[in-house]
A and B are shown apart, each in its own frame.
Chain A
Amino acid sequence: MDDDSKWRLLYLKKLETEVVHAFSFLRDAGIEPILIKGWAAARNYPKDVERFYADVDLAVSASDFDLAKRLLRTEPGNKLGIDVHRELRHLDTRPWNEIYSNSQEIRLNDVMIRVPSDEDHLRIMAVHWLNDGGARKDRLWDIYYAVKNRPAGFDWDICLNSVGEIRREWIIATIGLAHKYLELEIDGLPFADQARNIPPWLVRALEKEWQSGMPLRSMHISLDDPKELFQQIKKRIPPNAIQATVEMEGRFDNRSRLRYQVGSIIRKFRPSFSGIRDTIVKKSEVKYRIRRPGGTGD
């Protein structure tokens, strides 16, 4: 076993420990979180296939969010690698109380960990993947194994019809992509024909993204590196068609993506520019404090 493999194995065990600690910690404060992605996705994988993840994503109800966030900033919560989410935001439109009441508890190191139902989690993972523009081909395996290793009682009606028609299309298309690129067996699924009928723009956008080799990052992170800043601007023009469509809640039909891409540019550049503006203001404030007589510079 090489050092990288050892590190990943140990790190995953560390994250499992943190998942358990985080659940105990938040439950002590009366908060019941739901674990999404990460370990919840990895449990669908065969034991001999590693699914690496770097942090722990916990969703909590909107009413618990501020308290959870505050708690996770204090000892011992601040030592846990937890990314806390206010419900599921853009990842799903099913009401939180339904997601919660259909969630399930799975044992991890003698502690019961709450994860979404298999039907809800497949949807969440698919939308998360699409929202990243499908950039990570390896994460398409999450969909592959969630479908391939779904339990006997998996209810496609709950999975696909507890959200609107548009999101239904997204989920089916993502399963179709897992079929096309990873040879997921879809014969016998009630939507197999629709899943095979992937819009050509989706395939083009995906293959372009996989060939680009440059992940999308917040532009203000790249401000100190002109080359990367230029690449990030270039990457946004035109925007990833998958991401733009999902951001604008668009249909996965055969029509042009232009209107979604234009909408996405307006939507995305606004926070990017305000992020850049805030960063420039912050930097000039720091410079001013350093230059000012008696300024501490801190």
Chain B
Amino acid sequence: MKNPQFPIARKTGIVIQEVPDEVLVYDLDANKAHCLNQTAALIWKSCDGSRSIADIAKRVESLAGGNISDDFVWLAIDQLNENDLLENEISSSFSGMSRRDVIKKIGLSTMIAVPIIASLAAPQSAMANVSCICNQNSDCGVGANVNCPTLICSGLGTCNG
């Protein structure tokens, strides 16, 4: 699958934390947390704007081993796109195939883990002390109320309208 696109990993508006075998990314604009497995992280880090999909596949192959196809890289790019972790929008290359079909196809032919980007949800206990008290809609989604359920100040004075 040939594609002349050169993806660039997003660098602004995110916070990155590396943990063993994974990279955690917090999107400050969307207030969302993501967990990239080692393969997804390797592909993401390879997106420097100078490498094509084929170049990235070769790089992953040399660093992680195995036989890496363009589809394998596209599987990561597709998820990076979806989670807004690329600077430039890359159009998906899976013509007529679902991601599940692609995983099935790739999973049988590669030795390394398929790239996966999972969402991390806030544990309820962690946010139990955020009050979400508001007087108007503009009080929600900002300041101490940045993680409240909605941006609507309900009639009860909380950001959960």
CA distance A279 to B20 in the complex (A): 49
| In contact, A9 and B17 (Cβ under 8 angstroms) | yes
| In contact, A13 and B143 (Cβ under 8 angstroms) | no
State how many angstroms separate the Cβ of A4 from the closest Cβ of chain B: 4
Which residues on B sit within 8 Å (CB–CB) of A18? 28
| In contact, A54 and B127 (Cβ under 8 angstroms) | yes
Chain B: interface size category = 35 or more
State how many angstroms separate the Cβ of A160 from the closest Cβ of chain B: 28
Closest to A284 in B: B155
Pick from A10, A77, A80, A217: contact of B131, CB under 8 Å: A217
| In contact, A8 and B144 (Cβ under 8 angstroms) | no
| In contact, A220 and B157 (Cβ under 8 angstroms) | yes
Where chain B touches its partner, the secondary structure class is loop
| In contact, A7 and B120 (Cβ under 8 angstroms) | yes
Q: Does B64 contact A (CB under 8 A)?
A: no
If the complex has contacts A221-B157, A275-B157, are A10 and B126 also in contact, measured as CB distance less than 8 A?
no
| In contact, A84 and B126 (Cβ under 8 angstroms) | no
State how many angstroms separate the Cβ of A125 from the closest Cβ of chain B: 15
| In contact, A78 and B155 (Cβ under 8 angstroms) | no
Q: Does B98 contact A (CB under 8 A)?
A: no
| In contact, B126 and A8 (Cβ under 8 angstroms) | yes
Q: Does B121 contact A (CB under 8 A)?
A: yes
Closest to B124 in A: A4
| In contact, B158 and A221 (Cβ under 8 angstroms) | yes
State how many angstroms separate the Cβ of B31 from the closest Cβ of chain A: 9
| In contact, A17 and B120 (Cβ under 8 angstroms) | no
Which residues on A sit within 8 Å (CB–CB) of B131? 217-218, 221
| In contact, B143 and A72 (Cβ under 8 angstroms) | yes
Pick from B126, B128, B138, B156: contact of A11, CB under 8 Å: B126
| In contact, B19 and A1 (Cβ under 8 angstroms) | yes
Q: Does A48 contact B (CB under 8 A)?
A: no
Q: Does B106 contact A (CB under 8 A)?
A: no
| In contact, A6 and B133 (Cβ under 8 angstroms) | no
| In contact, B142 and A72 (Cβ under 8 angstroms) | yes
Which residues on B sit within 8 Å (CB–CB) of A181? none
Restricting to A35-89, which residues have a CB under 8 Å from any CB of B? 52, 54-55, 72-73, 77-84
Q: Does A224 contact B (CB under 8 A)?
A: yes
Q: When each residue 128-143 of chain B gets 1 if its CB lies under 8 Å from chain A and 0 otherwise, what string results?
A: 1111010000100111
State how many angstroms separate the Cβ of B74 from the closest Cβ of chain A: 26
Which residues on B sit within 8 Å (CB–CB) of A278? 157
| In contact, B24 and A10 (Cβ under 8 angstroms) | yes
Most-contacted residue by chain A among B19, B35, B129 (CB, 10 A): B129
Pull 11 A–B residue pairs with CB atoms less than 8 Å apart, ordered by A. Answer: A6-B24, A10-B33, A17-B15, A73-B138, A77-B142, A78-B143, A80-B143, A136-B129, A221-B133, A221-B156, A278-B157
Q: Which residues of B contact A (CB under 8 A)?
A: 15, 17, 19-20, 22, 24-26, 28-29, 33, 35, 120-123, 125-131, 133, 138, 141-144, 146-147, 155-158
3 tightest A-B contacts by CB?
A83-B144, A78-B142, A4-B123
